[in-house]
Chains A and B, each alone.
Chain A
Amino acid sequence: MDNVDIQYSEVDIRNFLKEVKDPEIPPISIVDLGIVTKISITESNDVHVTLTPTFAGCPALKIMEDLVKERLNKVDGIGSVSVNTSFETTWTTDMISEEGREALLKHGLAPPKQNVGYMELDVLSDTPCPYCSSRNTMLKSPFGPTLCRSLHYCNNCKQAFEGFKPV
């Protein structure tokens, strides 16, 4: 098939990137996570993608850059692909899409509360349980198995669970 005439749009690129998953939370794509902050495409379909880190110490950053390149390099007609990471847009958990929040919940990870801004930290104390939806839960620790997760306990269904920390 001859793709010479195809001009890819930002939406096309975004759709391809929906297939790139967060290595630490595989059910959510990097697009739904909200870390793809800029996509530029030249007339000859050279693509540049800018990512913003969730956490400064996130070890998956470099891997995600590589996964973006790998995915786009597979697309017919796309020229060169470059990716950079920039703090120009400060990522917050409010940038996770609705679809992303549902994916987290399905994964057993309580989605972060929204619009907490400069939150008081008791915002973590009644995080809804991803298993039974009860708000009768308590924060066990603001630090979990990855930088973006906290540890909670549900007093209703007696189940320990993890939450995605609001930042």
Chain B
Amino acid sequence: MDFFNDKHVEAAKDLIYKMADDQLIIGHRNSEWTGLGPILEEDIAFSSMAQDKLGQSEHLYNLLHELGEADADTVAFTRNENQFHSCHLVELPIGEYDFSLIRHFLFDMAEAIRFEMLVDSSYENLAQLARKFKGEIKYHTMHANTWLQQLATGNEESKARMQNALNEAWPLALGIFEPGAAEDVLKEVNIFEGEAALEAKWLQEVTALLDKAGLSIPDGVSPVYGGRKGQHTAHLQPLLDEMTEVYSIDPTADW
């Protein structure tokens, strides 16, 4: 689409930044299972998903570059934590496998629906990416849901672990849908329907799958907001320090 004015460009940037940052950070976290997965197939699964997420984030950063931001590497590797728009859910450490699986389920279900909604976006370059990512993420949600159903219906310990992980992750997952700065602008020109619409669809889908798995959604929980505004937990900066270690030593390094 041709953007009508700067207001629309800024609103689109806000949306793409949070998507790209979520993907970059969860991609990095996923990669922390490389070499540590409980079985070989799971090691490969989290490593492959990490690669998908990083690839997707790079293409989103390229889109931001088209909108006037710095190039992908500069944006990914030179910002401080307060310049990141990622939600808190993605920045937490991998924890035990139960937490990583529940986070993976809650986050990827939201992403899959977000991409589905963006397939018809009036911002054609973003719609093109959404069409591509949609085909890739179905393998992520399939993986997450398979393990959710297996472990939540396994034995007492596996069920208790999945429930505890869900209790921990739920308020953070609600933070994915922290209202954006200019959602009415995005709606007005049909770029994106907004976080509230996404949350409603997500809630419906994850509730059905959690019910099927016999897990209970915790009651009366407040969403954890702040990530979209650059307020983060103590876990993000150390992640960024590690991720940018080589780049900080030599920005021209090639590998």
A interface with B by C-beta (< 8 Å): 53, 55-59, 87-88, 90-92, 119, 121, 140-145, 147, 151, 165, 167
Contacts and interface: CB of A to CB of B under 8 A. Distances in A.
Given A57-B52, A87-B129, A143-B49, A167 B135 contact: yes
**Chain B binding surface, main DSSP class:** helix
A121 B143 CA distance: 10
Contact of A92 (B55, B135, B139, B143): B135
A56 B133 contact: yes
In the A-B complex, the 10 residue pairs with the smallest Cβ-Cβ separation, listed nearest first, are A57-B55, A143-B48, A87-B128, A56-B55, A167-B135, A141-B41, A143-B45, A57-B51, A121-B142, A90-B131
B131 A87 contact: yes
A57 to B, nearest CB: 2
B91 to A, nearest CB: 20
A59 B51 CA distance: 9
B79 interface: no
B128 A88 contact: yes
Given A88-B128, A121-B138, A147 B48 contact: yes
Interface in B103-145: 125, 128-129, 131-133, 135-136, 138-139, 142-143
B48 to A, nearest CB: 4
A139 to B, nearest CB: 10
Interface of B: 41, 44-45, 47-49, 51-56, 58-59, 125, 128-129, 131-133, 135-136, 138-139, 142-143
A57 B133 CA distance: 10
B41 A56 contact: no
29 contacts: A53-B132, A55-B55, A56-B52, A56-B58, A56-B129, A56-B132, A56-B133, A56-B136, A57-B51, A57-B54, A87-B125, A87-B129, A87-B131, A87-B132, A90-B131, A90-B135, A92-B135, A140-B41, A141-B41, A141-B44, A141-B45, A142-B142, A142-B143, A143-B45, A143-B47, A143-B143, A147-B52, A151-B41, A165-B139
Nearest to A56: B55
Contacts of B131: 87, 90
B116 to A, nearest CB: 10
Contacts of B58: 56-57
A116 to B, nearest CB: 10
Contacts of B138: 119, 121
Contact of A57 (B41, B53, B129, B135): B53
Contacts of B143: 142-143
A88 B59 CA distance: 13
A91 B41 CA distance: 26
B117 to A, nearest CB: 15
A24 to B, nearest CB: 12
Contacts of A147: 48, 51-52, 55, 136
Given A56-B133, A87-B59, A90-B131, 11 more contacts: A55-B136, A56-B55, A57-B55, A87-B131, A90-B132, A121-B138, A142-B139, A144-B48, A147-B51, A151-B44, A165-B139
Nearest to A150: B139
A156 B135 CA distance: 30
A59 B255 CA distance: 12
A164 to B, nearest CB: 13
B247 to A, nearest CB: 18
Contacts of B54: 57
A122 B169 CA distance: 29
Given A92-B135, A165-B139, A58 B44 contact: no
Nearest to A119: B138
From A53, A90, A140, A143, name the one whose CB has the most chain B CB atoms within 10 angstroms: A143
A2 B125 CA distance: 44
A7 B138 CA distance: 45
A152 B51 CA distance: 21
